[in-house]
Amino acid sequence: MRNAFASEITDLAQADPRVVLLSGDIGNRLFDKFRDRCPGRFFNCGVAEANMISVAAGMAMNGLRPIVYTITPFVTTRCLEQIRVDICYHDVPVTVVGVGAGLSYASLGPTHHSCEDIAFLRALPNMAVVCPGDAVEVRLAMKAAVERGSGTYVRLGKKGEAVVHQGVPSFQIGKAITLRHGRDVCILSTGNMLPEAAATADLLGRQGRAAELVSFHTVKPLDTEYLTRVFRDFSLVVTMEEHSRLGGFGSAVAEWLSDQPLQRASLLRFGTEDEFLHESGEQEHARHHFGLTAAQMAENIAARLYRKPALAA
């Protein structure tokens, strides 16, 4: 996702002189092309994220379209106050981009994990929260974010994740993308869980369970039209995210659901627990700890489906 991000914003900045990039002293060499092609529009703001967010807001108040980039916890929760007041209260078009979302940087320890950012940012008025599922969606999300006239948070994984989209889908902030049709269970995945969600659907398929696979890349604004349909058409709807089940995507769906008249489907939410991960290990290990691998989720879903009465034909 990271390289797709750097490449896409270089294209965007070449086409649009309003686009500027602010980095919190990360991305060594990643932005060489950007700096080369758009001189005077790259700012290494140092390890001073609060200032960086406000500087970006001041630029946006004066006609620019800044993109602010650093590691997820440092560009979200560390400077939440500046995002809230300077971007959201002023309602200016700054794109906040976090790299290493969720457990992407698991081995760096909980200071570098980010399993609370969606909760904090989606609570802010005027802020959109977009979690692209793969490199294809990263490009589309960046283009849409820069065009949007308000603050947008784009949550990236790391580099080298599997690409799930085979073509280039139609993309709109706030509109979920159906990747596979199925009838037994509907899997709504947000962000970097998409390859794991696809693998879960594959495993269920081998057991004769046809899963609908959806990239629910936007957590806010929530695609309620889509939710209305799937909670009507399915008996089980599943959310997947590399984020706490407190306040994240699954919470957003649950909040919406609790305000609806009786729905046919029940909801199963996968996400991280309300805890810091104290043991070391890579992302795969961390996912396993929280029950977020395809095998664990497929087993869990199958158990739920087994308990549910079969659908009427």
Cα separations (Å) of 259 from 123, 124, 224, 228, 256?
17, 20, 12, 12, 6
What is the closest distance, in whole angstroms, from the C-beta atom of residue 53 to other proteins in the complex? Answer: 8
Asked if 64 touches other proteins (CB under 8 A), the answer is yes
User: Should residue 58 be labelled a site residue for other proteins when binding is judged by CB under 8 A?
Assistant: yes
Q: Binding-site residue total for other proteins (CB under 8 A)?
A: 29
Please report how close the Cβ of residue 57 comes to other proteins at its closest, in angstroms.
6
Q: Judged by CB under 8 A, which of 43, 120, 180, 199 binds other proteins? A: 43
Distance CA 141, CA 156 (A): 10
Q: Does 10 bind other proteins (CB under 8 A)?
A: no
Per 3-state DSSP, what percentage of the chain is helix, strand, and coil (rounded to 5)?
40, 20, 40
Least gap, CB of 62 to other proteins (angstroms): 4
Shortest approach of other proteins to residue 183 CB, angstroms?
Answer: 49
* Separation between Cα atoms, residue 143 and residue 129, nearest integer Å: 14
Residue 39 binding other proteins, by CB under 8 A: no
The encoded tokens of residue 303 equal 């158990």
Cα separation values, 2 from 69, 106, 246, 303, Å: 11, 16, 27, 36
Nearer to other proteins, 18 or 148 (CB): 18
Pick 3 or 14: Cβ nearer other proteins: 14
**Which CB atom, from 53 or from 164, has the smaller least distance to other proteins?**
53
CA gap 203, 301 in Å, rounded = 11
How far apart CA 106 and CA 112 sit, in angstroms, is 7
Q: Which of 61, 168, 210, 311 binds other proteins (CB under 8 A)?
A: 61
Residue of the chain from 9, 12, 13, 56 that contacts other proteins (CB under 8 A): 56
**Is 63 one of the binding residues for other proteins (CB under 8 A)?**
yes
Give contact residues for other proteins (rule: CB under 8 A): 20, 40-41, 43, 45-46, 48, 50-51, 53-64, 66, 81-82, 85-86, 89-91
